[in-house]
């Protein structure tokens, strides 16, 4: 089939196998161009390993530290008529590159919130790795089925307390209009914490700890975003921010109750399949792209992850805040950088979008997530959606 992007709103419903593979190779090459990670992890479990920050975590561990990696994700395989999801192609490409480099790499495709997938991961670690010395928790999901009760919870992206009106970019129509989001009620807040809070991270660490597969010097990290004034009403001080606060509680509980030392890492705002679904974020990210590219401080997932390993997880002098969180959002949150963004924010209109912001860069990165717009890939060529992959 000819595989061209099918974009609907903030999602792209197909993906290009060769484009995804090229993206993975590009990230591997970046890591290979950097100094190896001193005292880095050798056996790593990444939960949410197929796209965005989780994929970059896996690539950094494997190619920066020579780690054996087990990845867990929830991705659609291809059929004769439909392409796979991008994360499926990314993971197939990652495994193939890792195997070529002589590195152990296996993956589990299934619901990480379930007891069955946790048990499968434990079994594979026991059989193949013995123990792990790093567990990366990088799930982003709108829903979670509680493994004990079978109840399905959905998260919402809403402010807390009062409604919030803000400038929003409709990425389909390229219109900028004010949107008003009503505040969440108590149940919606609790449900969002249930989906995106720390409970599942704790359940993973409990299952791994009880099975004796965490090494004595094991570390675990989960990711959060905090942001600044422009995004607080819809992120930091909103339902998702409440859920993320729960990660701080979970980190303390995990450190107390398991052999692993747990930290939350604060990463910068970037285009991923998850962040493009959050109101206000596409416009904010287009602005920070422009400002940070001008400053020479722009980073993608892989640059952030390399710094997280070298300046956060595997250094004697990690950059920690008062909550024991590893701060990798230092460049985004510099006061000069935020001041430039705050100055530009009220001036942006649909007419000057491409001039005042780097929406072009945002759009290109969005399509790239699905393997489109990648140099060297022939998008007019007949392409099979099938790829070789052996996921458990
Ligand atoms: P993403 O959508 O690119 O990745 C999500 C991953 O979770 C994928 O591997 C997907 O397969 C997996 N997943 C989802 N549901 C699953 C399930 N039920 N079972 C197994 N796997 C499942 O998202 P991302 O932006 O890389 O986010 C990863 C983490 O980083 C999140 O905690 C997010 O809040 C955080 N973060 C993101 C940003 C940003 O700007 N994108 C910034 C800071 C922190």
Give the pLDDT confidence score for residue 110 in this predicted structure.
98
Ligand 1 center to residue 381 CA distance, Å? 31
- Within 10 A of 318 (CB to CB), how many other CB atoms are there? 16
The answer to whether 324 and 263 have CB atoms below 8 angstroms apart is yes
Phi, psi angles (nearest 5°) of residue 223:
-105, 145
224 CB within 6 A, ligand 1:
yes
User: Model's pTM, two decimal places?
Assistant: 0.97
272 CB within 6 A, ligand 1:
yes
Ligand 1 center to residue 139 CA distance, Å? 4
204 CB within 6 A, ligand 1:
no
Closest C-alpha residue for ligand 1 atom 5 = 140
In this structure, what DSSP letter does residue 316 have?
S
Tell me the chain's radius of gyration from C-alpha atoms: 20
The answer to whether 1 and 385 have CB atoms below 8 angstroms apart is yes
Ligand 1 center to residue 71 CA distance, Å? 13
Ligand 1 center to residue 55 CA distance, Å? 9
Q: Which are the catalytic amino acids?
A: 235
Instruction: List the one residue out of 62, 80, 79, 82 whose CA is nearest residue 71.
Output: 62
Cα–Cα separations (whole angstroms), residue 95 to 50, 131, 136, 297, 339: 11, 20, 18, 31, 42
What percent helix, strand, coil does the chain show, rounded to 5? 40, 20, 40
**Tens-digit pLDDT profile for the chain (392 aa)?**
999 999 988 889 999 999 999 999 999 999 999 999 999 999 999 999 999 999 999 999 999 999 999 999 999 999 999 999 999 999 999 999 999 999 999 999 999 999 999 999 999 999 999 999 999 999 999 999 999 999 999 999 999 999 999 888 888 888 888 889 999 999 999 999 999 999 999 999 999 999 999 999 999 999 999 999 889 988 989 999 999 999 999 999 999 999 999 999 999 999 988 888 888 889 999 999 999 999 999 999 999 999 999 999 999 999 999 999 999 999 999 999 999 999 999 999 999 999 999 999 999 999 999 999 999 999 999 999 999 999 99
140 CB within 6 A, ligand 1:
yes
Closest C-alpha residue for ligand 1 atom 12 = 48
Give the pLDDT confidence score for residue 278 in this predicted structure.
85
Give the pLDDT confidence score for residue 175 in this predicted structure.
87
């Amino acid at each position: 089939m000819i595989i061209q992007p099918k974009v609907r709103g903030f999602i792209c419903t197909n993906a290009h196998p060769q484009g995804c593979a090229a993206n993975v190779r590009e990230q591997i090459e970046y890591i290979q161009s950097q100094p190896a990670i001193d005292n880095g992890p050798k056996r790593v479990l990444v939960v949410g390993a197929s796209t965005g920050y989780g994929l970059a975590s896996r690539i950094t561990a494997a190619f920066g530290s020579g780690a054996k990696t087990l990845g867990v994700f929830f991705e659609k395989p291809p059929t004769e008529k439909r392409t796979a999801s991008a994360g499926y192609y990314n993971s197939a490409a990652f495994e193939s590159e890792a195997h070529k480099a002589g590195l152990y790499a296996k993956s589990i495709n299934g619901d990480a919130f379930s007891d069955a997938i946790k048990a499968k991961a434990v079994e594979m670690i026991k059989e193949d790795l013995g123990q792990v010395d790093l567990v990366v928790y990088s799930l982003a999901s709108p829903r979670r089925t509680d493994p004990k009760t079978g109840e399905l919870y959905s998260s919402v992206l809403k402010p807390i307390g009062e409604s919030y009106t803000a400038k929003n970019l409709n990425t389909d129509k390229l219109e900028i209009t004010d949107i008003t989001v009503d505040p969440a009620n108590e149940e919606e807040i609790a449900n969002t914490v249930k989906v995106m809070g720390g409970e599942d991270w704790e359940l993973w660490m409990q299952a791994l700890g009880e099975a004796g597969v965490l090494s004595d010097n094991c570390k675990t990290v989960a990711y959060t975003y905090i942001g600044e004034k422009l995004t607080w009403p819809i992120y930091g001080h909103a339902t998702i921010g409440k859920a993320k606060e729960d990660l701080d509680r979970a980190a303390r509980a995990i450190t107390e109750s398991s052999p692993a030392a747990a930290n939350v890492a604060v990463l910068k705002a970037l285009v991923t399949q998850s962040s493009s679904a959050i109101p206000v974020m596409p416009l904010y990210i287009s602005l920070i792209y422009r400002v940070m590219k001008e400053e020479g401080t722009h980073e993608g997932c892989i640059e952030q992850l390399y710094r997280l390993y070298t300046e956060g997880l595997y250094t004697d002098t990690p950059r920690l805040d008062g909550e024991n969180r590893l701060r990798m959002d230092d460049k985004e949150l510099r006061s000069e950088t935020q001041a430039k963004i705050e100055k530009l924010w009220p001036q942006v209109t649909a007419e000057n979008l491409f001039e005042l912001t780097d929406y072009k860069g945002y759009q290109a990165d969005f399509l790239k997530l699905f393997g489109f717009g990648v140099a060297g890939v022939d998008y007019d060529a007949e392409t099979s959606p099938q790829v070789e992959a052996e996921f458990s």
